């Protein structure tokens, strides 16, 4: 197989993940009357009424934050507040403003140079999905009987005391699993994959994508999607190693939960809320120091081609986890250090909405609170400012987005790594300990002896000596970034 | 209230009612694989796979038959072969070819001067309909809780052993009744009413329309629909007298089942299949002679303004009844005489698909057989020819479509009626008895003494004498039509 080709723009992307019911609510989108109050404690079944025009109205905030790509959890018509239970793949949910709102969002986002990736739930439908509903209504006479895998009639779709009677995701009655062996189903799903690309989206995040255990499906998916947009980004949800799908013929990348895992262990470490951690798919994680973190990163990078690593979606948390800050029991230094690392690492960072202002959130549903637009006093503006700085750093420094990655030092609680692109070299060093550290950072021959580095933000000058940056003092729980001048 | 304004084109319309799953199936529309064979005995739950492109492919047949308006039972996405259980009002069912197929049909029909009326099921949805599904999924937390009338949670939508727990049509679990008092629901339904008008349909047939017991709803419906197309036809399904809705501010007309009823009693009479009749909404009907038929017609006409009578949809049968021919136990003379009468009466005739070739059909589902395109030897071509003649007569004679209506003679088994428009007079006389009758038909001063009448089809000439057509001999179970020359 030739080398994987991943979309070039993803190297420059900083994603912002939006949970549409909770990010922003526009007064211009008509809503059903029976909604929970904006900002009330999230429940499993209540809606708070966010919508896509609300996102349009907040695009300037996102531009100011510095992100340039949006990843939306599902937006298609669904009778669930998270919209993973798809009722209709051809319609944006009416509560989100319908298809017209998505078109408007695409137009407004694109005009700001911002990409838009949607969440595709192709493994399973919902029990209200038309072709499944046909089986519910007509039993063995249904026209679409082989779109799903039925074991016995009548189905017990709404009878939780009995087995569903059909193949379902995690045997959940609500989520009948598609029979992708059926060519009609393939054609339907592949058509959906293409349809929204043709309508202007920039890529797909694929929900529980490894559970469609059929490489030819994903190969054809890639052909269809790329046929519509050769730059479309295809990113699967896989929580572990994902070589099988990242050889260049299926997806471009995965949501990099291996990265998440390593960051929790290293940047949060001992402070982790073990109760909340126990509710994640990680269950337990031993705290690690810099050497083990280095090992985790190098193992991860070793799995994939550099073109894949450069396109990975690196996240610290998501709608499927407690927020990073909550896992850290409120220790904002952990979030700051992890974000600094995320913004200087290879692959596309993804920020879960609200992390940047210090929103807390335990496991689902608490991690899906409404963005507090109307209580700005609750925002941590210092944190927001640091997010802006870290994002801006990435966006102004090509080496951070496209450069090589190399670990220079991994000792006790101190990590130093370099990114290099042509004559541009950036050195990042992070001290996760609660004490001051003073280190000599080996430069591994990356720069000529006596090279000058600017410390970003302070603009102090440092010079390499004997292939080291010597005597670098690191305050407790802090990081410093040194960079050669940008080529003019 | 000013006088009702009904669409002018309906005066010239001859409708053909199509049950989309059974009229015609195109090879060009992809279908799910699990369908019943075309022409197999209809079942409650099986599909035979008719579609709208199939109709396009048969338009020339319909032009040859002479009809110029199509009324379709529901075409929107639905998990029922009759599609009265609407899953999505914004989508033409994918098995029918989807929205694109309807657009093509509208284009092709309109290019032949043919109108298209769709069936609107606005009283109730289906249990797969999105906003109802939301209540099924989320119970008291549902956003759309007040779109329906819920009595208790959880709903028993799929638990036929218990009461549904919500208001439903005939208390059927499958058909939750809309709460049209909710402004969101009104806006939704009125929007649907308008949407398809804007997409080019020529009118709406309104299912169980009297069950939306809310005049202001229908008044607003008329405003919205007519706002989109001032010539749109609005015809309600009401089986009895319908003055309430036909004052000019709600509907234009109803499906004229009072006409149907009178025609069964008079033209079929004693021969009626009482078992099948007992399964209709008529239950029983005593056979009647010409005087009682006259009384029924005059009562019916007396209910409404002439503009309404001229726009009524006069039908002999439908998808909700055994076919007329089957009620007549195969007596084709009854169908011929009734059709001759229908084509010469005031109001728009409507032919249920297949009646014209003598298709039989008992009560639902047998009355929904597939049109036998592939067994043309089963067609009664003489009957088809007579349908063509009767339809052509109506279409060439303005007096039959727009003229006054007057009964000239109603005695024993013989009826004579006249239609007059300006200088054009048409006299129709029908003998329903099994013997030859010889009658003098009084002309009631409609024409000057000695006026010449051509007998249509034979072109024999007759002259009025002493304000009568004298000595008109009528073979058993036959009709004759006499007409003054068309103004040149």
Chain B residues touching residue A128 (CB < 8 angstroms): 128, 130, 133, 136-137
Is A34's CB within 8 Å of B157's CB? no
pLDDT digits (tens, 9 = 90+) for A290-302: 999 999 999 999 9
Which of B31, B49, B142 is facing A34, going by the closest CB pair? B142
A237 catalytically annotated:
yes
Is A45's CB within 8 Å of B143's CB? no
- Asked if A174 has any chain B CB less than 8 Å from its own CB, the reply is yes
Residue B286 φ/ψ region, left for φ over 0, alpha for ψ in the -120 to 50 degree band, beta for the rest: beta
Domains of chain B with CATH codes = 8-123+178-396 (3.20.20.80), 402-483 (2.60.40.1180)
Chain B residues touching residue A137 (CB < 8 angstroms): 45, 79-80, 85, 126, 128, 174
Q: What is the mean pLDDT of residues B126-140?
A: 97
Exactly one of B93, B237, B413, B424 is catalytic; name it.
Answer: B237
CB atoms under 10 Å from CB of B401, counted, come to 23
- Asked if B166 has any chain A CB less than 8 Å from its own CB, the reply is no
Is A46's CB within 8 Å of B147's CB? no
pLDDT band of residue B480 (cuts 50, 70, 90) is very high
Which of B30, B32, B139 is facing A144, going by the closest CB pair? B32
- CA–CA–CA angle A458, A460, A462 (5° rounding): 140
Is B47's CB within 8 Å of A143's CB? yes
- Which pLDDT score, from 0 to 100, does residue B488 have? 73
Mutate to test the interface with A, among B20, B30, B34 (most CBs of A within 10 A): B34
- Which pLDDT score, from 0 to 100, does residue B1 have? 55
Chain A residues touching residue B133 (CB < 8 angstroms): 79, 87, 128
Name the nearest CA neighbour of B193 among B90, B97, B112: B90
Tell me the helices (H) and strands (E) count for chain A, helix number first.
15, 18
- Which pLDDT score, from 0 to 100, does residue B185 have? 98
- Which pLDDT score, from 0 to 100, does residue A34 have? 95
d(CA A188, CA A183): 8
Question: How many contacts does A have with B, using Cβ atoms within 8 A?
Answer: 115
- Which pLDDT score, from 0 to 100, does residue A17 have? 98
Q: Which residue of B has its CA nearest to A83?
A: B134
Chain B residues touching residue A46 (CB < 8 angstroms): 138, 141
pLDDT digits (tens, 9 = 90+) for A168-177: 999 999 999 9
CB atoms under 10 Å from CB of A421, counted, come to 16
Q: What is the mean pLDDT of residues B409-436?
A: 97
Residues 6+ apart with CB under 8 A from A27: none
d(CA A308, CA B262): 77
Mutate to test the interface with A, among B30, B49, B137 (most CBs of A within 10 A): B137
Residues in chain A where the model's pLDDT stays below 70:
1
Cβ-based burial of A459 (10 A; exposed 0-12, middle 13-18, buried ≥19): exposed
Which of A32, A141, A147 is facing B143, going by the closest CB pair? A32
- Asked if A38 has any chain B CB less than 8 Å from its own CB, the reply is no
Is B141's CB within 8 Å of A46's CB? yes
- Asked if A37 has any chain B CB less than 8 Å from its own CB, the reply is no
d(CA A173, CA B136): 13
- Which pLDDT score, from 0 to 100, does residue A487 have? 78
pLDDT digits (tens, 9 = 90+) for B28-80: 999 999 999 999 999 999 999 999 999 999 999 999 999 999 999 999 999 99
Chain B residues touching residue A174 (CB < 8 angstroms): 137
Q: Where are the alpha helices (DSSP H) in A32-129?
A: 52-57, 59-65, 98-111
Chain B residues touching residue A126 (CB < 8 angstroms): 137
- Which pLDDT score, from 0 to 100, does residue A1 have? 55
- Asked if B48 has any chain A CB less than 8 Å from its own CB, the reply is no
- Asked if A24 has any chain B CB less than 8 Å from its own CB, the reply is no
Is A142's CB within 8 Å of B31's CB? no
Chain B residues touching residue A184 (CB < 8 angstroms): 30, 32-33
Contact A342, A393 (CB under 8 A): no
Residue B188's Cα: distance from chain center in Å?
26
B207 catalytically annotated:
yes
d(CA B384, CA B362): 20
φ, ψ for residue B87 (rounded to 5)? -95, -30
- Asked if B162 has any chain A CB less than 8 Å from its own CB, the reply is no
List the 82-101 stretch of A: residues with Cβ below 8 A of B.
Answer: 85, 87-88, 90-91, 94-95
List the 91-150 stretch of B: residues with Cβ below 8 A of A.
Answer: 91, 94-95, 126, 128, 130-131, 133-134, 136-139, 141-147
Residues 6+ apart with CB under 8 A from B323: B317, B352, B354, B355, B359, B360, B361, B362, B367
Exactly one of B21, B119, B202, B207 is catalytic; name it.
Answer: B207
Q: What whole-number percentage of chain B has pLDDT above 70? A: 100
Chain B residues touching residue A20 (CB < 8 angstroms): none
Cβ-based burial of A151 (10 A; exposed 0-12, middle 13-18, buried ≥19): exposed
Chain B residues touching residue A142 (CB < 8 angstroms): 34, 45, 79
Token pair, residue A189, equals 């799903």
Chain A residues touching residue B157 (CB < 8 angstroms): 158
Token pair, residue B6, equals 């009904």
Distance in Å, alpha carbon of A79 to nearest chain B alpha carbon = 5
- A464-472, Cβ contacts within 8 angstroms, sequence gap of 24 or more: A467/A442, A467/A443, A468/A440, A468/A441, A468/A442, A468/A443, A469/A427, A469/A440, A469/A441, A469/A443, A470/A440, A470/A441, A471/A438, A471/A440, A472/A429, A472/A438, A472/A439, A472/A440, A472/A441
pLDDT band of residue B2 (cuts 50, 70, 90) is confident
Name the nearest CA neighbour of A87 among A155, A176, A180: A176
Q: Where are the alpha helices (DSSP H) in B172-228?
A: 183-198, 215-228
Mutate to test the interface with B, among A29, A95, A128 (most CBs of B within 10 A): A128
pLDDT tops 90 at residue B235? yes
Distance in Å, alpha carbon of A75 to nearest chain B alpha carbon = 15
Cα dihedral A252, A255, A259, A260 in deg (nearest 10): 170
Q: Which residue of A has its CA nearest to B138?
A: A45
Is B157's CB within 8 Å of A158's CB? yes
Mutate to test the interface with A, among B37, B77, B79 (most CBs of A within 10 A): B79
What is the residue whose two structure tokens read 């501010």?
A: B249
Q: Which residue of B has its CA nearest to A90?
A: B91
Residues 6+ apart with CB under 8 A from B31: A143, B25, B49, B51, B95
């Amino acid at each position: 197989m030739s080398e994987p080709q991943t979309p070039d723009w993803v190297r420059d992307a900083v994603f912002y993940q939006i949970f549409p019911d909770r990010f922003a609510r526009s007064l211009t989108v008509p809503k059903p009357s029976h909604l929970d109050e904006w900002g009330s404690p999230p429940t499993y079944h209540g809606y708070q009424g966010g919508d896509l025009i609300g996102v349009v109205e907040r695009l300037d905030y996102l531009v100011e934050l510095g992100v340039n790509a949006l990843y939306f959890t599902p937006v298609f018509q669904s009778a669930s507040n998270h919209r993973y239970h798809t009722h209709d793949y051809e319609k944006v949910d009416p509560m989100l403003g319908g298809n017209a709102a998505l078109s408007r969002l695409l137009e407004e986002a694109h005009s700001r140079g911002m990409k838009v990736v949607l969440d595709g739930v192709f493994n399973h439908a919902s029990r209200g999905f038309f072709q499944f509903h046909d089986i519910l209504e007509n039993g063995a006479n249904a026209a679409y009987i082989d779109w799903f895998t039925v074991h016995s009639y009548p189905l017990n779709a709404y009878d939780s005391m009995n087995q569903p009677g059909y193949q379902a995701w995690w045997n959940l009655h609500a989520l009948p699993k598609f029979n992708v062996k059926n060519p009609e189903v393939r054609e339907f799903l592949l058509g959906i994959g293409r349809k929204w690309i043709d309508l202007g989206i920039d890529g797909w995040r694929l929900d529980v994508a490894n559970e469609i255990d059929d490489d030819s499906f994903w190969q054809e998916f890639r052909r269809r999607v790329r046929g519509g947009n050769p730059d479309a980004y295809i990113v699967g949800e896989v929580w572990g190693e994902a070589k099988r799908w990242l050889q260049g013929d299926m997806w471009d990348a995965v949501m990099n939960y291996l990265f998440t895992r390593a960051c929790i262990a290293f940047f949060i470490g001992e402070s982790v809320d073990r109760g909340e951690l126990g509710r994640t798919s990680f269950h337990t994680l031993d705290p690690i120091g810099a050497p083990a973190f280095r090992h985790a990163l190098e193992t991860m990078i070793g799995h994939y081609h550099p073109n894949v690593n450069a396109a990975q979606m690196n996240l610290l948390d998501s709608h499927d986890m407690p927020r990073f800050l909550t896992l850290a029991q409120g220790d904002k230094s952990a979030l700051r250090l992890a974000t600094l690392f995320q913004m200087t690492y290879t692959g596309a960072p993804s920020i879960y909405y609200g992390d940047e202002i210090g929103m807390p959130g335990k496991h689902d549903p608490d991690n899906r609170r409404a963005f507090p637009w109307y209580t700005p006093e609750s925002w941590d503006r210092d944190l927001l400012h640091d997010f802006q700085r870290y994002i801006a750093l990435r966006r102004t420094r090509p080496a951070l987005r496209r450069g090589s990655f190399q670990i220079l030092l991994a000792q006790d609680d101190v990590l130093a790594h370099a990114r290099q692109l042509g004559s541009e070299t950036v050195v990042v060093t992070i001290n996760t300990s609660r004490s001051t550290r003073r280190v000599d950072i080996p430069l591994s021959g990356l720069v000529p002896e006596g090279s000058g580095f600017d410390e970003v933000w302070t603009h102090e000058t440092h010079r390499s000596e004997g292939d080291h940056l010597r005597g670098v003092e690191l305050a407790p729980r802090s990081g410093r970034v040194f960079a050669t001048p940008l080529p003019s």
